A and B are shown apart, each in its own frame.
Chain A
Amino acid sequence: MNKIWILFKREYKAAVKTKSFIISLLLVPIMMGGSLAVIFIMEDNQDTTDTHIVILDHSGLVEGMLTEKAKLRNKNEIFNPETGEQFLPAYILEFISPDLNNSFDQKLELSEKIRTKDVHAFIEIGKDVLHPGEWTEDDFIRYYSEHTFMDNARDWVSNSINNFLREQRGEALNLDKDVSKELMAWIRIEGMGLVDIDKKTGEQQEAEKTSEIQSFLVPYIILMLMFMLTMMSAIPLLTAVMEEKSERIAEVLLGSITPFQFMMGKVLGGIGISLTTASVYIGGGIAIANFTGSASIIPYDILPWFFVYVIFFVLMVGSGMAALGATCNDNKDAQSVQFPAMLPVILPMFLIMPIIQNPSGTLATTLSLIPPFTPTIMMVRMATPVTIPLWQPILGLVLVILFTLFTIWVGARVFRTAILIQGQKPSMKNLIKYAFRG
């Protein structure tokens, strides 16, 4: 044990003292903070150049209404009422009559104008929009632009026209204006958490409003943290061991220590690095959250789980990586085994959306109980506002511990045999041979 400790100290010092460690420790928060800052700056500095929109109205209904609405909007809604500063672009509408004979040519000409940035978008309104139904194909509103997604002007046009058409239909039914307004009222659903009773004080706790941030951002940050921590501590063990093998440091050390001590010293070094990084990030996160007054989003109750799972995840992936590193002779070998070995770390990244959307679903529950994926996916599930039954993280942890012991056992056998064998490729056949025949 004493020798593992000496190796651990060396590994930890060697890693923590490097510039790359300090840079990555600082870079991640800077990048995350930076992208948030960019979003805020972008919000403050919206593009305020006029948005030029051309409308081909087959229905002949909306010109007066839209012109009036745009005029009101350009006058009232695009300036900051306090400073008078413009923060949204003005909408400049141009109605042209549709060319029924050369419809395509007309649209082509408009499309060219969009490509040359003279026009932002053009809209084609079908003639039967007021009375849509199966009897006609002309009940459409089409918005032609280079980016139809996330376009504020499109939402504005859609809302304006639809509200107007509903009013028109109401008027046709001789509905009173107030009645038709009520008819069109739309009430947003507020997302709430659950009410609870404080177990210690017995106090009633009202449900809190849940937000997108809580249900998405927190699990996402947990996922990214898990990914970052293993990328910084466990994954580099592959090339580190490979280098120690090819530079013959391994043989010198094996004069004084057993292969198992060697491997564990390195893996524990990895755990030290990941816990250091986790403490810095989480400590920093808590400080920032407190500073910005959003401390309530920090899921303190799952932090102990997080640290326990990180330790076993790094132990599991790290011992696998160290063993694979021992089978590699050069960078080419290392590259060929690195990707498959990284799957437990990478795969959860692709599955984040379905898991966050349905943390109690079959996919999420099953994956979170398959040991290589458990640490990441269980933590993501626990970070969502949904309550995960306590037996699941406990069972997950037991399985992870068993699986980790297995990877250490196999890893140590592979490591012991492979570390001195030069020139053999890290093929599946060799790996199995090292693991089970020694």
Chain B
Amino acid sequence: MNTIELKNITKTFGSLVAVNDLSLNVPKGSIYGFIGPNGSGKTTTIRMIMKILYADSGSILLNGKQHESLRLNNIGYLPEERGLYKKMKVKDVLMFHGELNNGTDLPAKIEKWLSHFDLSKFSNKKVETLSKGMTQKLQFIATILNDPEIIILDEPFGGLDPVNAELLKDAILDMQKRGATIIFSTHDMSMAEKMCDQIFMIYKGEKVLDGTLQSIQDQFGTDTIRLQTEMGAEALEGIEGIERINNYGKQQELRLSQNIDHQKILSLIMKKTAVLKFEITKPSLNDIFIRIASPERKEAENE
């Protein structure tokens, strides 16, 4: 059963095609990660799911139905651009959003979530007195206050410190356990790798990846080596068969040319220096993202 189905969605702004013939199925109870460079169409897609924007063509089904009038009581939406009434008190602003989403038993829920995110003592403070991170947590609470069936989070982790990002991640996983279907867009690839059941990548309005992490990585084979040597990156100079070196300082990630034997590369490196670690692996999501959206590829496309 798919909670959200996009069928051949196209959206243009003037001459710009923001989303082109996009189809997507989000299964019930899954966490679906939306990735893609800035301006690739993530937010436009999310806004169309939310019916904030209307698609030029195609259809969007929620729980198998067109949702023209079903305005979104069971959807929690955290937009990329945060905005809360600054002059309102924290608990009032939550009450307001809770009421707008037809919430019940709001005061108790508000208290529970404020205390979960360590915001209880700000309950009677105005929103404008909160820091950026706190406002973000507050906005997240406003999104999930009514235990929505569908939660759509546009860049939920942006601007959060690791402690708060952890809190937020746990809250999202709790929501999933409870049965919610979650879409979130992110630029944090490691978070997407760890959290998402399925990942969707959009690039220049087109779907370029869609599936589980496993299936996506399988498309790219085992052409990646994680390497640690005594000499560091210098040892790799002049070795044929290495297409790209991603140098992290203490560790390097290599992408090999096609049909190159891992063992041959290992022996070539061993001639130069002592190898401390040599791991044959699938490319990371980060690497796959860069392969698709890197400046080199853009140049290649333009030629």
- Interface set of A (CB-CB < 8 Å, partner B): 2-3, 6-7, 10, 14, 244, 247-258, 420
Among B73, B75, B79, contact of A252 (Cβ-Cβ < 8 Å): B79
Provide the residues of chain A in CB contact with B96, threshold 8 Å: 6, 10
Q: Given that A6-B96, A14-B85, A247-B83 are known contacts, is A252 also in contact with B72, CB under 8 Å in the complex?
A: no
Q: Given that A249-B85, A250-B83, A252-B139 are known contacts, is A3 also in contact with B53, CB under 8 Å in the complex?
A: no
Residue pair B100, A256 in contact (C-beta under 8 Å): yes
Provide the residues of chain B in CB contact with A255, threshold 8 Å: 50, 52, 72, 75-77, 79
- Is B301 close to A, CB under 8 A? no
Once A and B bind, how many residue pairs between them come within 8 Å at the CB atom?
58
- Interface set of B (CB-CB < 8 Å, partner A): 47, 50, 52-53, 71-73, 75-77, 79, 81-88, 96-97, 99-102, 139, 142
Residue pair A251, B52 in contact (C-beta under 8 Å): yes
Provide the residues of chain A in CB contact with B52, threshold 8 Å: 251, 254-255, 420
Residue pair B72, A244 in contact (C-beta under 8 Å): no
Residue pair A253, B100 in contact (C-beta under 8 Å): yes
Residue pair A252, B83 in contact (C-beta under 8 Å): yes
Among B71, B79, B85, B142, contact of A257 (Cβ-Cβ < 8 Å): B71
A148 to chain B, nearest CB (A): 54
4 additional A-B pairs beyond A250-B83, A256-B71, A256-B73, beta carbons within 8 Å, are A2-B102, A249-B85, A252-B82, A255-B79
A170 to chain B, nearest CB (A): 78
B202 to chain A, nearest CB (A): 19
Interface of B is mostly: loop
Complex CA–CA separation, A315 to B174 (angstroms): 45
Residue pair B83, A248 in contact (C-beta under 8 Å): yes
A82 to chain B, nearest CB (A): 58
Query: What are the 6 A-B residue pairs with the smallest beta carbon separation, nearest first?
Result: A255-B77, A248-B83, A248-B81, A249-B83, A256-B100, A251-B79
Complex CA–CA separation, A258 to B68 (angstroms): 11
Among A244, A248, A254, A256, contact of B101 (Cβ-Cβ < 8 Å): A256
A134 to chain B, nearest CB (A): 75
A-B contact pairs, 6 of them (CB 8 A): A2-B102, A6-B100, A249-B84, A251-B52, A252-B142, A256-B72
Complex CA–CA separation, A420 to B97 (angstroms): 20
Provide the residues of chain A in CB contact with B73, threshold 8 Å: 256
Residue pair B97, A256 in contact (C-beta under 8 Å): yes
Residue pair B71, A248 in contact (C-beta under 8 Å): no
Residue of chain A at shortest CB distance from B75? A255
Q: Given that A251-B52, A252-B139, A420-B53 are known contacts, is A257 also in contact with B100, CB under 8 Å in the complex?
A: yes
Provide the residues of chain B in CB contact with A253, threshold 8 Å: 100
A427 to chain B, nearest CB (A): 15
Complex CA–CA separation, A250 to B52 (angstroms): 11
Complex CA–CA separation, A255 to B75 (angstroms): 8
Residue of chain A at shortest CB distance from B143? A255
Provide the residues of chain A in CB contact with B77, threshold 8 Å: 252, 255-256
Provide the residues of chain B in CB contact with A250, threshold 8 Å: 83
Residue of chain B at shortest CB distance from A6? B99
Among A244, A248, A258, A420, contact of B47 (Cβ-Cβ < 8 Å): A420
A247 to chain B, nearest CB (A): 5
Provide the residues of chain A in CB contact with B97, threshold 8 Å: 252, 256
Residue of chain A at shortest CB distance from B139? A252
Residue of chain B at shortest CB distance from A249? B83
Among A10, A247, A251, A258, contact of B86 (Cβ-Cβ < 8 Å): A247
Residue pair A244, B83 in contact (C-beta under 8 Å): yes
Provide the residues of chain B in CB contact with A249, threshold 8 Å: 83-85
Q: Given that A254-B50, A420-B52, A420-B53 are known contacts, is A3 also in contact with B100, CB under 8 Å in the complex?
A: yes
A244 to chain B, nearest CB (A): 7
Complex CA–CA separation, A257 to B75 (angstroms): 11
Residue pair B88, A14 in contact (C-beta under 8 Å): yes
Complex CA–CA separation, A108 to B223 (angstroms): 106
Provide the residues of chain B in CB contact with A10, threshold 8 Å: 85, 88, 96
Provide the residues of chain A in CB contact with B83, threshold 8 Å: 244, 247-252
Complex CA–CA separation, A258 to B97 (angstroms): 14
Provide the residues of chain A in CB contact with B82, threshold 8 Å: 248, 252
Residue of chain B at shortest CB distance from A259? B52
Residue of chain A at shortest CB distance from B52? A254
Complex CA–CA separation, A258 to B77 (angstroms): 14
Residue of chain A at shortest CB distance from B88? A14
Provide the residues of chain A in CB contact with B100, threshold 8 Å: 3, 6-7, 253, 256-257
Provide the residues of chain B in CB contact with A254, threshold 8 Å: 50, 52
A181 to chain B, nearest CB (A): 74
Complex CA–CA separation, A253 to B82 (angstroms): 11
Complex CA–CA separation, A248 to B87 (angstroms): 15
